[in-house]
Amino acid sequence: MNKRLKIAVLTGAGISKESGIPTFRDNNGLWQKYDARKLASVAGFEENPQAVLDFYNARRKNLLEVAPNHAHRALAELEKEHDVTIITQNVDDLHERAGSNRVIHLHGELKKVTSSVNRFNPDCIKEYPLDVPIKIGDKAADGSQLRPYIVWFGEQLGPEIEQAVILIENADIFVVIGTSLVVYPAAILVNFAQPEVPKFLIDPGDMNGKLPEGFTHIQKTAVEGIEDLIDSIHKL
Protein backbone atom coordinates (compact mmCIF):
# COMPACT_ATOMS: atom_id res chain seq x y z
CA MET A 1 0.00 0.00 0.00
CA ASN A 2 1.49 3.32 -1.10
CA LYS A 3 -1.37 5.62 -0.20
CA ARG A 4 -0.65 8.09 2.61
CA LEU A 5 -3.43 7.70 5.15
CA LYS A 6 -4.71 9.84 8.00
CA ILE A 7 -4.33 7.73 11.14
CA ALA A 8 -5.73 8.82 14.50
CA VAL A 9 -4.32 6.94 17.49
CA LEU A 10 -5.95 7.20 20.92
CA THR A 11 -3.60 6.06 23.70
CA GLY A 12 -4.13 5.46 27.40
CA ALA A 13 -2.24 4.36 30.48
CA GLY A 14 -1.54 0.88 29.09
CA ILE A 15 1.07 2.12 26.61
CA SER A 16 3.02 4.05 29.27
CA LYS A 17 2.72 1.26 31.83
CA GLU A 18 5.29 -0.71 29.84
CA SER A 19 7.75 2.15 30.31
CA GLY A 20 7.34 2.01 34.07
CA ILE A 21 4.69 4.69 34.61
CA PRO A 22 1.99 3.55 37.07
CA THR A 23 -1.59 3.32 35.84
CA PHE A 24 -4.55 4.65 37.80
CA ARG A 25 -7.30 2.07 37.85
CA ASP A 26 -5.47 -1.27 37.75
CA ASN A 27 -5.27 -3.42 40.88
CA ASN A 28 -1.95 -1.78 41.69
CA GLY A 29 -2.87 1.59 40.22
CA LEU A 30 -2.31 4.96 41.85
CA TRP A 31 -5.91 5.36 42.93
CA GLN A 32 -5.69 2.10 44.86
CA LYS A 33 -2.94 3.69 46.97
CA TYR A 34 -3.99 7.34 47.07
CA ASP A 35 -7.24 9.24 47.48
CA ALA A 36 -7.97 10.84 44.12
CA ARG A 37 -10.38 13.32 45.69
CA LYS A 38 -7.57 14.70 47.85
CA LEU A 39 -4.74 14.65 45.30
CA ALA A 40 -6.43 15.29 41.96
CA SER A 41 -9.21 17.79 42.51
CA VAL A 42 -9.56 21.53 43.03
CA ALA A 43 -11.07 20.91 46.47
CA GLY A 44 -8.08 18.76 47.44
CA PHE A 45 -5.67 21.44 46.22
CA GLU A 46 -7.46 24.13 48.19
CA GLU A 47 -7.49 21.95 51.32
CA ASN A 48 -3.87 20.82 51.18
CA PRO A 49 -1.90 22.31 48.28
CA GLN A 50 1.42 20.97 49.64
CA ALA A 51 0.20 17.37 49.50
CA VAL A 52 -1.01 17.81 45.93
CA LEU A 53 2.24 19.44 44.83
CA ASP A 54 4.26 16.69 46.53
CA PHE A 55 2.25 14.05 44.67
CA TYR A 56 2.73 15.67 41.27
CA ASN A 57 6.36 16.58 41.90
CA ALA A 58 7.02 12.88 42.48
CA ARG A 59 5.24 11.99 39.25
CA ARG A 60 7.17 14.67 37.37
CA LYS A 61 10.45 13.40 38.75
CA ASN A 62 9.49 9.86 37.70
CA LEU A 63 9.38 11.05 34.08
CA LEU A 64 13.14 11.58 34.24
CA GLU A 65 13.60 7.92 35.11
CA VAL A 66 11.60 6.35 32.26
CA ALA A 67 11.94 6.17 28.49
CA PRO A 68 9.68 5.56 25.48
CA ASN A 69 9.09 1.91 24.68
CA HIS A 70 8.83 0.08 21.37
CA ALA A 71 5.15 0.98 20.94
CA HIS A 72 5.87 4.70 21.29
CA ARG A 73 8.77 4.48 18.85
CA ALA A 74 6.84 2.42 16.29
CA LEU A 75 4.03 4.97 16.21
CA ALA A 76 6.57 7.74 15.63
CA GLU A 77 8.18 5.68 12.86
CA LEU A 78 4.77 5.29 11.21
CA GLU A 79 4.83 9.04 10.47
CA LYS A 80 7.32 8.34 7.69
CA GLU A 81 4.54 6.61 5.74
CA HIS A 82 1.31 8.18 6.97
CA ASP A 83 -0.20 11.27 8.62
CA VAL A 84 -0.32 10.09 12.22
CA THR A 85 -1.82 12.08 15.08
CA ILE A 86 -1.59 10.82 18.64
CA ILE A 87 -4.52 11.67 20.90
CA THR A 88 -3.44 10.69 24.39
CA GLN A 89 -5.08 10.53 27.77
CA ASN A 90 -1.58 10.30 29.26
CA VAL A 91 0.12 13.28 30.83
CA ASP A 92 3.67 12.08 30.19
CA ASP A 93 5.81 13.16 27.24
CA LEU A 94 6.88 9.71 26.01
CA HIS A 95 5.20 10.09 22.61
CA GLU A 96 7.10 13.31 21.97
CA ARG A 97 10.37 11.84 23.19
CA ALA A 98 9.86 8.87 20.86
CA GLY A 99 9.62 11.29 17.93
CA SER A 100 5.89 11.79 17.35
CA ASN A 101 5.33 15.29 15.99
CA ARG A 102 1.57 15.62 16.38
CA VAL A 103 0.41 14.85 19.91
CA ILE A 104 -2.80 16.08 21.54
CA HIS A 105 -2.96 15.75 25.33
CA LEU A 106 -6.54 15.44 26.56
CA HIS A 107 -5.71 15.45 30.28
CA GLY A 108 -2.85 17.94 30.38
CA GLU A 109 0.92 17.57 30.65
CA LEU A 110 3.21 16.95 33.60
CA LYS A 111 5.90 19.07 31.96
CA LYS A 112 3.73 22.18 32.21
CA VAL A 113 2.31 24.42 34.93
CA THR A 114 -0.49 26.94 34.90
CA SER A 115 -2.58 29.34 36.97
CA SER A 116 -4.59 28.01 39.90
CA VAL A 117 -7.22 30.66 39.15
CA ASN A 118 -7.64 30.16 35.40
CA ARG A 119 -6.16 26.92 34.08
CA PHE A 120 -6.74 27.97 30.46
CA ASN A 121 -4.99 31.37 30.69
CA PRO A 122 -2.43 31.11 27.84
CA ASP A 123 -0.14 33.61 29.57
CA CYS A 124 0.22 31.23 32.52
CA ILE A 125 0.73 27.91 30.74
CA LYS A 126 4.43 27.20 30.47
CA GLU A 127 6.92 24.36 30.56
CA TYR A 128 8.55 23.77 33.92
CA PRO A 129 11.72 21.71 34.45
CA LEU A 130 10.89 18.21 35.65
CA ASP A 131 13.77 18.25 38.12
CA VAL A 132 12.56 21.49 39.76
CA PRO A 133 9.75 20.95 42.29
CA ILE A 134 6.71 23.21 42.14
CA LYS A 135 6.67 24.95 45.53
CA ILE A 136 4.17 26.86 47.59
CA GLY A 137 4.74 30.51 46.74
CA ASP A 138 5.69 29.90 43.10
CA LYS A 139 3.53 32.28 41.14
CA ALA A 140 1.89 32.16 37.74
CA ALA A 141 1.86 35.22 35.48
CA ASP A 142 -1.48 36.30 36.98
CA GLY A 143 -0.07 36.19 40.52
CA SER A 144 -1.83 33.00 41.56
CA GLN A 145 -0.16 29.88 42.92
CA LEU A 146 1.33 27.67 40.22
CA ARG A 147 -0.34 24.30 39.79
CA PRO A 148 0.28 21.35 37.49
CA TYR A 149 -1.24 21.69 34.01
CA ILE A 150 -3.42 18.64 34.60
CA VAL A 151 -7.16 18.08 34.23
CA TRP A 152 -8.35 17.16 37.71
CA PHE A 153 -11.50 15.29 38.64
CA GLY A 154 -14.52 17.55 38.20
CA GLU A 155 -12.75 19.89 35.77
CA GLN A 156 -13.78 20.28 32.16
CA LEU A 157 -11.54 19.18 29.33
CA GLY A 158 -9.90 21.84 27.21
CA PRO A 159 -10.28 22.58 23.49
CA GLU A 160 -8.18 19.49 22.76
CA ILE A 161 -11.29 17.33 22.98
CA GLU A 162 -12.87 19.15 20.02
CA GLN A 163 -9.66 18.73 18.04
CA ALA A 164 -9.69 15.03 18.82
CA VAL A 165 -13.26 14.61 17.62
CA ILE A 166 -12.50 16.28 14.28
CA LEU A 167 -9.37 14.18 13.76
CA ILE A 168 -11.19 10.94 14.51
CA GLU A 169 -14.13 11.88 12.29
CA ASN A 170 -11.76 12.46 9.38
CA ALA A 171 -9.39 9.55 9.97
CA ASP A 172 -8.85 6.81 7.40
CA ILE A 173 -7.79 4.48 10.22
CA PHE A 174 -8.58 4.70 13.93
CA VAL A 175 -6.43 2.95 16.53
CA VAL A 176 -6.91 2.62 20.29
CA ILE A 177 -4.02 1.46 22.48
CA GLY A 178 -3.94 0.83 26.20
CA THR A 179 -7.31 2.14 27.30
CA SER A 180 -10.34 0.12 28.36
CA LEU A 181 -12.84 2.30 26.44
CA VAL A 182 -15.18 2.33 29.43
CA VAL A 183 -14.06 5.70 30.88
CA TYR A 184 -14.78 9.16 29.46
CA PRO A 185 -13.54 10.51 27.08
CA ALA A 186 -12.39 7.30 25.40
CA ALA A 187 -15.85 5.77 25.70
CA ILE A 188 -17.26 8.69 23.71
CA LEU A 189 -14.46 9.26 21.21
CA VAL A 190 -14.73 5.79 19.66
CA ASN A 191 -18.19 6.75 18.42
CA PHE A 192 -16.82 9.44 16.12
CA ALA A 193 -14.86 7.12 13.83
CA GLN A 194 -16.58 6.59 10.50
CA PRO A 195 -18.32 3.19 10.29
CA GLU A 196 -16.45 2.12 7.15
CA VAL A 197 -12.89 2.85 8.29
CA PRO A 198 -10.63 0.14 9.74
CA LYS A 199 -10.52 0.32 13.54
CA PHE A 200 -8.08 -1.48 15.83
CA LEU A 201 -7.83 -1.94 19.58
CA ILE A 202 -4.62 -3.13 21.22
CA ASP A 203 -5.33 -4.31 24.74
CA PRO A 204 -4.40 -7.54 26.57
CA GLY A 205 -7.81 -7.85 28.22
CA ASP A 206 -10.65 -9.93 26.81
CA MET A 207 -13.01 -6.87 26.75
CA ASN A 208 -15.82 -9.03 28.21
CA GLY A 209 -18.10 -8.39 25.26
CA LYS A 210 -17.47 -4.63 25.40
CA LEU A 211 -15.52 -4.40 22.15
CA PRO A 212 -17.14 -1.62 20.08
CA GLU A 213 -18.66 -2.64 16.78
CA GLY A 214 -16.27 -2.66 13.86
CA PHE A 215 -13.07 -2.96 15.92
CA THR A 216 -10.39 -5.58 15.38
CA HIS A 217 -9.06 -6.60 18.79
CA ILE A 218 -5.32 -7.26 19.01
CA GLN A 219 -5.29 -8.98 22.40
CA LYS A 220 -1.75 -8.13 23.39
CA THR A 221 0.10 -5.46 25.32
CA ALA A 222 1.07 -2.30 23.47
CA VAL A 223 4.67 -3.42 22.97
CA GLU A 224 3.65 -6.91 21.84
CA GLY A 225 0.75 -5.82 19.65
CA ILE A 226 2.22 -2.85 17.82
CA GLU A 227 3.85 -4.98 15.12
CA ASP A 228 0.53 -6.75 14.49
CA LEU A 229 -1.01 -3.32 14.00
CA ILE A 230 1.71 -2.19 11.60
CA ASP A 231 1.34 -5.40 9.59
CA SER A 232 -2.45 -4.94 9.42
CA ILE A 233 -2.06 -1.37 8.17
CA HIS A 234 0.40 -2.49 5.50
CA LYS A 235 -2.10 -5.05 4.26
CA LEU A 236 -4.92 -2.56 3.78
What are the residue numbers of the active site?
A: 107
Inter-residue contact 55 to 33 (CB < 8 Å): no
Query: Could you give the strand order of the β-sheet that contains 146-150, starting from the edge strand earlier in sequence?
Result: 126-127, 108-115, 146-150
Coil, strand or helix: which one is 79?
helix
Residue 9: partners with Cβ closer than 8 Å, 6 or more residues away: 75, 84, 85, 86, 87, 174, 175, 176, 177
Would you put residue 89 in left (φ > 0), alpha (ψ -120 to 50) or beta? alpha
